[in-house]
Homo-oligomer: A and B are copies of this chain.
Amino acid sequence: MDKQRKHLTQQIIQAGQFLYRQGWSPATSSNYSTRLSAEQALLTVSGRHKGELTAEDVLVVDWQGQSLEEGKKPSAETLLHTQLYQWRAEIGAVLHTHSNDACVLSLLEQSTELRLHGYELQKAFTGYTTHESTLVVPIFANDQTIPRLATQVQQWLDTHPDCVGYLIRGHGLYTWGAQMSDALRHIEAFEALFACELKLRALRAV
């Protein structure tokens, strides 16, 4: 195993330990990836315990989502990762998680866009410099047919070059960054904002 792959594998393993410990990747859900080259990514194998990943639990895929390693099956949602690497050359890591708050907020929000406004923490996202901005997070209907879901996502990405993440209803969050550390910062910021949004909705209504 070459040095770069070893390094990126370690990043995925450590991201999994953190995200599992936070409760954002329960019950073998979630999948994570990093860009390996201009045409390949390193991705988690389907169905593994995300807090206990080993080097055996990642595999190389091409942009068509095909496994380049015999005997290893990539996540069913591989295309949702690879379309992001093709969308923007500066994306180096993609994280998909299944937190309770992301799940609940996506089911609760009736519109197809969650709009976050007035939070200082919006500044954690690359390109956002003030709480007076509005962070728009699209919500896609869940779909077990991933190519069809990827088409929906692609239409949004093509028309929203500043997109930093999206929700799938009743399912979870996709976010990304130039480095794994950026993708992790985005997850933390989204989870904090989702938690605040849920508390505010509960309390403003009473």
Contacts and interface: CB of A to CB of B under 8 A. Distances in A.
A99 to B, nearest CB: 9
Interface residues of A, number: 47
A171 B28 contact: no
A129 B144 contact: yes
B124 A192 contact: no
B104 A200 contact: yes
Interface of A is mostly: helix
B168 A124 contact: no
**Most chain B CB atoms below 10 A, which of A120, A144, A205:** A120
A196 B121 contact: no
Contacts of A198: 199, 203
A107 interface: yes
A127 to B, nearest CB: 14
Nearest to A18: B51
Across the A-B interface, the 7 shortest Cβ-Cβ residue pairs = A205-B206, A120-B171, A27-B189, A27-B124, A27-B188, A26-B188, A104-B199
